[in-house]
């Protein structure tokens, strides 16, 4: 799908720090966290530093007094993308957020409370915050984004779907610009989940990923030819088994321009070997100088997009980013310099 979105703002929150620069230069340090089911077992996890002063202003917002970490990641990243936009411009701005697990921390706490203390003790304060679009609503309200708002769900490829949706809104003239974000929050229950599907990295191993959290996004618009852009966004190469994924990856690569360099993104997750095998004959952009940020699904897809944008140059005016969805579908983005 040709979308041609001009990127007019960027924002990020990650274990490497608050801000887009941290994606390139930060030094995230894993911390050990115990699993829910086996408290004696701990796994390294990359966490966002929630004591970062950048979050102070949001913690004072009355609307956010009960909000879970995912909302704080989201509102900070969104605000960064909106830098310089007037209140009137914000009122004509849409918001699309791509989630994977969504409001996991409060959902787990709510249901664990139901199981341990009984249904009659369920928390009416927590439940509304478990809903996927609650953080979206908070962010739109706090930042004055009066345009349309969607919460989208999926694996990493939901980030691509969110960009495609932004393009549709702009074509329909629903809004003047759209903030598109990917976000994920950590909860110990994911260690039990990812461990059961063998996604986690064991000590002294290079296989498997470190669980991570954070948010990132872009403010996109039409026109503005001098700005870097997302030229193409495609998804829909679905798979269920390991056998199907290699075939899906081949089909995806076959639809891309073989001359374009590829920004690799599988980042030690279980699709890493598939990425290596399918891109053997393609020109890969080195990413070794960038910090490893772990796996945070749609947030990872957004981080990768911002980092790949940083690799555009006059010598490299276009590039491809494969978006390896970990449990549904594969997708890709083609990025380009302004006036490219």
Partner 1 sequence: MHVVVTGIGAVTPLGENFPASWEALTAGKEAHAPLELFDTSGCRCHHAASAKLPPLPGFSAKALRRLSRASRLAIPAAREALASAGLLDSEGRSLLRELPVSVSTTSGGMGFGEDFVRRVLARKRSHLYSQVARYLPQQQVLDIQQALQFSGHSVIIANACASGANSIGHAAELIATGTADCVLAGGFEAITELVFVGFDCLQATTTDRCRPFDLRRSGLLIGEAAAFLVLESEEHAQRRGATPLCRVTGYGLTTDFFHLTQPKPDGGALVQVMRAAAEQAGIAPAHIGYINAHGTATPTTDGVEAQAYRTFLGDALGSTRVSSTKGAIGHTLGAAGSVEALFAIEALRTGKLPPQLNLQEPIPDIAAALVGANEVAAGMQHVMSVNLGFGGSNAALLFSRSASA
Binders in 174-233 for partner 1, by CB under 8 A: 174, 189, 192-193, 196-197
For residues 236-255, which are near partner 1 according to CB under 8 A?
236-238, 240
* Burial of residue 36 (number of CB atoms within 10 Å: 0-12, 13-18, 19+): middle
Do residues 34 and 150 make contact, with C-beta atoms less than 8 angstroms apart? no
Select the residue interacting with partner 1 from 81, 100, 221, 265 (CB under 8 A). 100
Closer residue to partner 1 (CB): 16 or 162: 162
| Residue 165 within binding range of partner 1, rule CB under 8 A | yes
Residues 4-43 that bind partner 1 (CB under 8 A): 35-38
Question: Nearest distance from residue 9's CB to partner 1, in Å?
Answer: 20
168, 247, 277, 284: which one binds partner 1 (CB under 8 A): 168
286-323 residues labelled b (16+ CB within 10 A) or e (exposed): ebeebbbbbbbbbbbbbbbbbbbbbbbeeebebbbbbb
For position 132 contacting partner 1 by CB under 8 A, the verdict is yes
- Cβ contacts of 173 within 8 Å, gap of 6 or more: none
Per-residue binding string, partner 1, 144-163, x by CB under 8 A, is --x-xxxxxxxx--x--x--
Beta carbon nearer to partner 1, 132 or 292: 132
In whole angstroms, how close is the CB of 245 to partner 1 at the nearest point? Answer: 12
Please state, in angstroms and rounded to a whole number, the distance separating the CA atoms of residues 174 and 248. Answer: 34
Q: Which is nearer to partner 1, 165 or 265 (CB)?
A: 165
DSSP assignments along 92-105, one per residue: TEEEEEEESS-SHH
Q: Are 209 and 269 in contact (CB under 8 A)?
A: yes
């Amino acid at each position: 799908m040709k979308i041609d979105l001009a990127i007019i703002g960027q924002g990020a929150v990650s274990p490497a720090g608050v801000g887009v620069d941290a994606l390139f230069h930060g030094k995230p340090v894993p911390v050990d966290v115990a699993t829910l089911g086996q408290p004696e077992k701990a796994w390294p996890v990359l966490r966002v530093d929630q004591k970062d002063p950048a979050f102070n202003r949001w913690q004072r917002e009355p609307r956010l007094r009960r909000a879970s970490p995912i909302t704080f990641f989201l509102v900070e990243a969104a605000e960064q993308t909106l830098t310089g936009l007037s209140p009137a411009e914000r009122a004509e701005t849409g918001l699309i957020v791509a989630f994977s697990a969504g409001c996991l921390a409060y959902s787990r706490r709510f249901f664990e409370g139901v199981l341990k203390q009984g249904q009659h003790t369920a928390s009416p304060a927590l439940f509304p915050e478990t809903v996927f679009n609650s953080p979206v609503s908070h962010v739109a309200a706090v930042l004055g984004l009066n345009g349309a708002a969607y919460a989208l769900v999926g694996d990493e490829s939901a980030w691509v779907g969110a960009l495609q949706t932004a393009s549709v809104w702009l074509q329909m003239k629903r809004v003047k610009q759209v903030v598109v974000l990917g976000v994920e929050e950590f909860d110990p229950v994911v260690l039990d989940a990812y461990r059961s599907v063998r996604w986690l990295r064991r000590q002294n191993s290079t296989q498997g990923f470190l669980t991570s959290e954070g948010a990132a996004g872009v403010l996109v618009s039409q026109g503005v030819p001098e700005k870097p852009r997302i030229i193409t966004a495609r998804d829909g190469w679905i798979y269920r088994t390991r056998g199907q994924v290699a075939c899906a990856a081949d089909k995806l690569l076959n639809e891309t321009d073989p001359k374009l360099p590829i920004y690799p993104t599988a980042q030690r997750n279980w699709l890493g070997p598939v990425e290596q095998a399918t891109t053997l004959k393609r020109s890969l952009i080195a990413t070794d100088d960038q910090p490893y940020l772990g796996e945070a699904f749609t947030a990872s897809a957004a981080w990768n997009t911002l980092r790949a944008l940083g690799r555009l140059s006059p010598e490299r005016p276009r590039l491809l980013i494969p978006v390896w969805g970990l449990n549904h579908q594969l997708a890709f983005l083609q990025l380009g310099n302004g006036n490219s």
